[in-house]
Amino acid sequence: MESPAVSCHQRLTALDTLVPPAYIRFLVLFNAPDVTSALAHLEAGIQRLVSECPFLAGYVFTGPIPGDPNSGCHIIPPRESDADLIITTVKRVSESYRKVYPEHQAHAGLDVTHFPLKPIADIVNPSPIFRLQINLFNDGVGLGFALHHNVMDAIGAGTVVKALGSCCCRTDSGTELGLDLNTLTPLQYSARASLNKLTPVARDSELDRSRYGLQPHPGSIMFDQSGFGLLPPASRFRLSATKIQDLKTHLNNVIARSESLQKQFGPTSWISNNDTLVALIWLCYNRAKRRSEPPSSTQPFAINPGICMPANIRPRVHPPLPSTFLGNAAVPVKPAMDAQPLLSAIGNGSLLTDEVVPERIRDDALCQVALAVRQAVSRVNNDYARDITSLMQNPQVPLIYEYNHDTNISSWRDSAMYEAYFGEELGFPLDVCLDVPAMGYFTLAPKRRAPDDSWEVLAVLSPAIAGCLRDDDIWSSVLSDSPPAGE
């Protein structure tokens, strides 16, 4: 069958090309007493999903659209036969899913054979947008997702999971989940076209790319897959939502009483739960790195000087993007902070090495980091997105999200994957297991269904650093005492 007409190809946005050509990979686990019936249920659901949202069966190509040399990376629509390629494999595993993926485990190890594709996409030939592997255990099902990151972010991936669940339920439109499957495909094209129309903001001076969490593209070294599979399994930390909330309230009271903090951060006078958690990760990760060093070490680990994290701009641009837009709508945010000035400001250089830190010193450090995070997030608006677009339009210096030299934190918490209902055959997901492919990278896992509002944090760390982090006095004070609800 012939390929779709060139006129049907769609150019990716500047935000789509901020991320490397890689796959978002995750495993969604269900309890299923009758896996044969569950398989038929899923196959019918996939068939309907592709009929409602055919672009998911399409491809991404890193070269320009034929006849338009300035177009860059773009989406190639699918042919009719491509719909049959979404499910790559049905793998039978003669074990209980809970033996392979135990409950409450401290390490979130993943079997890479349960995924349909490798982490890095093909940069020479068109790469599929979506592939699914169905893993049938003795008593459950694991759906191995691979979604092209140049086409969607974590919130977009959550929308795909919810859409598949809706299709498996055989509902008319999925509106009970906030989805309208009839408009999901045209919405993707209109939202991406809106992002492509963002124009640069008039500035008196040249933009500093480092301020926006951008770095020059590292070239072909990024596509070397030889190191994948050699990383230790991700450590899983379960933090109490109540303890995070209480700490945030306490720190906001400290901020309200501190003239020096008010003078330093001006109108930024409060912090959120998320700001508090990011500050905890930065402080405790650097403490764990420093305290994991052998006593005889003459070259201590470098302090990760800053933070780089994404912020969702769907509600922040004009006009706002729909919440069901799958494409990349997260911009890098880099708080203006540095470790050495922080340590000097609180007047305690042993903050990173002392086993027990006085509460006053801890509070001062957390307030400074959290306020820097809040200050940076508050800057993210329509002009910020336009600045990012402007920086990305320079073909002489290709840029990408800054993954080096900082504490990198990504968030899946608002992806709503645990809210996806797959009908009576499968119900709601029991676990969503994320593939975290980079050393030193932190990921906030999707929020579980109520009443479980805990924060789950995944991080790929060396065993020594992971052990020190788990035992850290500050970090352990916010760990949850209870297992996930419903398990």
Q: Please give the distance of CA 395 from its chain centroid, rounded to a whole number.
A: 27
Confidence class of residue 402 from pLDDT cuts 50, 70 and 90? confident
Under 8 Å between Cβ of 472 and 287: yes
Confidence class of residue 302 from pLDDT cuts 50, 70 and 90? low
What gap in Å lies between CA 176 and CA 152, rounded to an integer?
23
For the residues 268-295, what does the mean pLDDT come to?
92
Give the model's pLDDT for residue 198.
Answer: 86
Give the model's pLDDT for residue 80.
Answer: 82
Confidence class of residue 4 from pLDDT cuts 50, 70 and 90? very low
For the residues 364-369, what does the mean pLDDT come to?
93
Confidence class of residue 390 from pLDDT cuts 50, 70 and 90? confident
Please report, as a single letter, which amino acid is at residue 302. A
Give the model's pLDDT for residue 64.
Answer: 67
Q: Which of 68-77, 113-122, 449-458 has the lowest mean pLDDT?
A: 68-77
For the residues 165-179, what does the mean pLDDT come to?
66
Q: What is the architecture of the domain spanning 6-216?
A: 2-Layer Sandwich (3.30)
For the residues 348-355, what does the mean pLDDT come to?
75
Confidence class of residue 216 from pLDDT cuts 50, 70 and 90? confident
Under 8 Å between Cβ of 160 and 177: no
Residue 151: pLDDT above 90? Answer: yes
User: Which has more pLDDT, 480 or 336?
Assistant: 480
For the residues 399-422, what does the mean pLDDT come to?
86
Provide the mean pLDDT of the chain: 86
Domains of the chain: which residue ranges? 6-216
Confidence class of residue 374 from pLDDT cuts 50, 70 and 90? very high
Give the model's pLDDT for residue 2.
Answer: 47
What gap in Å lies between CA 121 and CA 148, rounded to an integer?
8
Give the model's pLDDT for residue 68.
Answer: 67
Give the model's pLDDT for residue 173.
Answer: 46
What gap in Å lies between CA 435 and CA 309, rounded to an integer?
18
What gap in Å lies between CA 184 and CA 159, rounded to an integer?
10
Q: Are strands 330-333 and 306-312 parallel, antiparallel or unpaired?
A: antiparallel
